[in-house]
């Protein structure tokens, strides 16, 4: 059978819906960050609760043929995982939270454009068919540059240094974590037989679909800030 090309109008038919949802999400997140304090804490808790609900539902569906003890253990792990990320975001200074968000966005953007432009071998086609090694490399470079930019904006020094190289490496490493978080959720969705974690966000799926890369990055960035930050 011959493969038929999908018209551009069909492939982009949900673009207005996705764009509108993105604007609303950015406005809510931006308002919470700007207000700070209890407003931001409440926003993080609300988003985390929705994310946890979706994650538990995925785990229960993925483990429908598994033992009850295994499903309970998976749900407990989800509580710890998402709760730790939420706790770190609440405790971190707002400028650092902005850096975390920027690294995750840079990872997604760099991975998208480099993956589409270069293509090449897939990382794990059975879990996430669209993820390529070229995309991962592009995401790492983009996140490393963003991390480097935040570093130099804070120290005020423009000369490249070992500390700057370290900042780039941290950003690149966080990009790998963001992709790992994405793979984890993709694996759960495949096990559960679901395309999205929910249909809460028009054109984007669920909250877990949007936060999957943020969760591990927030945890590790928090650990680095509290235990390795000079």
Model pLDDT for residues 147-192, shown as the tens digit of each residue: 998 888 877 666 567 788 889 999 999 999 999 999 999 999 999 9
Distances in whole angstroms, Cα of residue 116 to Cα of each of 85, 120, 176, 201: 30, 9, 18, 25
User: In angstroms, rounded to a whole number, what is the distance separating the alpha carbons of residues 126 and 189?
Assistant: 12
pTM of the model: 0.86
Which tens digit of pLDDT belongs to each residue from 59-106? Answer: 999 988 888 899 999 999 999 999 999 999 999 999 999 999 999 999
20 vs 30 pLDDT, higher one: 30
Q: pLDDT at position 198, please?
A: 79
């Amino acid at each position: 059978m011959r493969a038929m090309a999908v018209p551009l109008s069909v492939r982009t038919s949900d673009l207005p819906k996705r764009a509108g949802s993105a604007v609303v999400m950015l406005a809510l997140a931006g308002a919470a960050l700007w207000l700070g304090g209890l407003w931001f804490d409440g926003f993080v808790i609300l988003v985390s609760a929705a994310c946890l609900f979706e994650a538990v539902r995925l785990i229960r569906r993925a483990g429908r043929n598994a033992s009850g003890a295994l499903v309970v253990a998976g749900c407990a792990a989800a509580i710890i995982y998402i709760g730790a990320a939420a706790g770190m975001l609440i405790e971190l200074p707002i400028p650092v939270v902005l850096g975390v968000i920027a690294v995750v966005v840079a990872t997604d953007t760099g991975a998208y454009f480099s993956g589409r432009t270069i293509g090449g071998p897939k990382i794990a086609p059975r879990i996430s068919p669209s993820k390529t090694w070229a995309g991962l490399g592009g995401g790492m470079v983009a996140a490393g540059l963003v991390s480097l930019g935040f570093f130099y904006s804070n120290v005020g020094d423009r000369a490249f240094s070992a500390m700057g190289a370290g900042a780039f490496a941290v950003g690149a490493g966080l990009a790998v974590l963001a992709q790992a978080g994405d793979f984890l959720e993709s694996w759960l969705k495949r096990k559960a037989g679901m395309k999205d974690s929910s249909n809460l966000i028009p054109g984007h799926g669920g909250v877990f679909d949007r936060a999957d890369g943020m969760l591990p990055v927030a945890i590790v960035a928090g650990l680095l800030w509290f235990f390795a930050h000079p």
